[in-house]
Amino acid sequence: MGEIANCPNCSTIFEKTKFRDVCDQCYKEEEKMFDKVYRYIKKKENRTATVEQVLEDTGIEEELLIKFIKTGRLRPLLYPNLRYKCEKCGELIREGQLCPTCKEKMVKELKTFEAEEKRKNDIIERSSRNTYHVNDYKKRFTDND
Ligand SMILES: [Zn+2]
Ligand SMILES: [Zn+2]
């Protein structure tokens, strides 16, 4: 069973599954486009086509073409020039969302962030402990008064 979602292309409500992220209608359209692109790219002379060439010759939307590459339907090993831009720096890549440099940077940033969060939590914890002691002391002091 999938979840009910809005189709990202046309906003129709449909049942989203692991294999289907658009509605039936759009899925059919996508399959049609995939066939077209696939028939185009599997020709020997088109194997080395770039994304721009495919867009021009098949009329497919860039977003959809990149989706086919990202999901591995158009295999990057077979079509070495089907590259798209890294989401961060714009470098041309063949798989994933980010180029290796940005990926590495993100991992590092995440680690720094986690260390910083831990440091902040430690401070909060320590200061709340201190506050407790101060209150405790004050209380005792008032009690004695
Ligand atoms: Zn749709
Ligand atoms: Zn990058």
Per-residue pLDDT of 66-99, as tens digits, reads: 999 988 899 888 898 999 999 999 999 988 889 9
Whether 139 shows a pLDDT value over 80: the answer reads no
Nearest to 51 by CA among 39, 33, 64: 64
Q: Are 42 and 54 in contact (CB under 8 A)?
A: no
Q: Which numbered ligand comes closest to the C-alpha of 30? A: 1
User: CB-side exposure of 86: number of CA atoms within 13 Å?
Assistant: 15
Per-residue pLDDT of 10-35, as tens digits, reads: 999 999 988 888 999 999 999 999 99
Measure the N-to-C terminal CA separation of the chain; round to a whole number of Å: 69
Q: How far is the CA of 87 from the centre of ligand 2 (A)?
A: 7
Q: Which numbered ligand comes closest to the C-alpha of 87? A: 2
Per-residue pLDDT of 31-67, as tens digits, reads: 999 999 999 999 999 999 999 999 999 999 999 999 9
Q: Cα separations (Å) of 96 from 62, 72, 118?
A: 16, 10, 30
Ion ligand 1, residues whose Cβ is below 5 A away: 7, 9-10, 12, 22-23, 26
